[in-house]
Amino acid sequence: MKRYFAAVVGRPVRHSLSPRLFKLLAAELGRELRYRAVEVDARRLAQALGSARRGPWVGWNVTLPHKVRILSLLDGLDDSARAAGAANVVRFEDGRAMGYNTDAAGFLVPLGRAGFAVRGCRAVVLGAGGAGRAACLALTRAGARRVLVFNRTFENARVVAAGLGAVAGPLSQAAEAVREADLVVNATSLGLEGRGCPLAPGARFKTGALAYDLVYRPALTPFLAQARAGGAGTLGGLGMLVGQALETWRIWFGETVGGRIGRRVEKELEEFLTGKGGAL
């Protein structure tokens, strides 16, 4: 069987779930994929990419802090990376390194699976970093009626909203918009490891609203706990992580992975994160 090599490249990457995720996918799909987490600091990124072009790699996943910096080092970008202003996937072919972005596609996967109709919805996105931008891009392209993006640093929300037809505001003023939203997305890094919530205590949700946290560790973040207490439906970030990996797989191998495999992989990761899974 042909052996393929891939890696997640960033700093830090020690705690990345990607090696486990891609090992599960490779086992499901019968490919021999050697996937590693490679710690690369910003000063060495160009050099690492240079040697990878000459190496045996099928591709890289790119994570913080390199998603934007890598754009200028690549040999070409597809529309997804251009629109997102960041690349989280690299495909190596014939000595060339091409950049893609799978975050926006991955963002929509769990919404589709939950039966949430994005077309015509009113959405609020909290956070305007890479994940917030991907969420806004996916929502506007999928036909949301209104996308409001709120961020601690207002200027960053303004930059994300510009050109997407979204509206920007400071995070401190999100509560009123949240009350009228069908979908509220937490795309800030608040809630990671269970610390912090982007909304003030007591924030109210519209009846039937869906709260979607892109943070996946822990499964029940303070934002989701608050939304649940306020009667909203909830969705964690693991589905997006798996969704963007399925899209990565399609880019690397030209193979579309079915939703059933995605759900199996997601379940195994969930069990791993909650300490119920076996070793892989």
Q: How far is the CB of 81 from ligand NAP (least distance, A)?
A: 15
Per-position x/- string for 7-46, each x denoting binding to ligand NAP as judged by CB under 6 A, each - no binding: ----------------------------------------
User: Is 96 or 195 the residue whose CB approaches ligand NAP more closely?
Assistant: 195
Q: What is the dihedral of CA 247, 252, 253, 254, to 10 degrees?
A: 60
Q: How far is the CB of 96 from ligand NAP (least distance, A)?
A: 26
- Which tokens sit at 102? 């799978």
User: Is 66 or 231 the residue whose CB approaches ligand NAP more closely?
Assistant: 66
Binding residues for ligand NAP restricted to 76-105, rule: CB under 6 A: 103
- Which tokens sit at 217? 């560790």
State how far the Cα of 270 lies from the Cα of 238, in Å rounded to an integer.
8
Q: Does 130 bind ligand NAP (CB under 6 A)?
A: yes
Beta strands in 109-176 (DSSP E): 122-126, 146-151, 167-170
> Closest residue to ligand NAP, Cβ-based?
129
Q: Does 57 bind ligand NAP (CB under 6 A)?
A: no
Q: How far is the CB of 128 from ligand NAP (least distance, A)?
A: 5
State how far the Cα of 149 lies from the Cα of 188, in Å rounded to an integer.
11
Per-position x/- string for 181-200, each x denoting binding to ligand NAP as judged by CB under 6 A, each - no binding: ------xxxx-x-----x--
Sheet with 183-186, strands from edge to edge, namely: 167-170, 146-151, 122-126, 183-186, 210-213, 233-235
State how far the Cα of 83 lies from the Cα of 73, in Å rounded to an integer.
17
- Residue from 237, 248, 257, 262 binding ligand NAP (CB under 6 A): 237
State how far the Cα of 76 lies from the Cα of 48, in Å rounded to an integer.
17
Q: Is the distance from CB of 236 to CB of 259 less than 8 angstroms?
A: no
Q: How far is the CB of 187 from ligand NAP (least distance, A)?
A: 6
- Which tokens sit at 227? 């939304």
Q: Which residues bind ligand NAP (CB under 6 A)?
A: 103, 106, 127-132, 151-153, 156, 171, 187-190, 192, 198, 214-216, 237, 240-241, 244
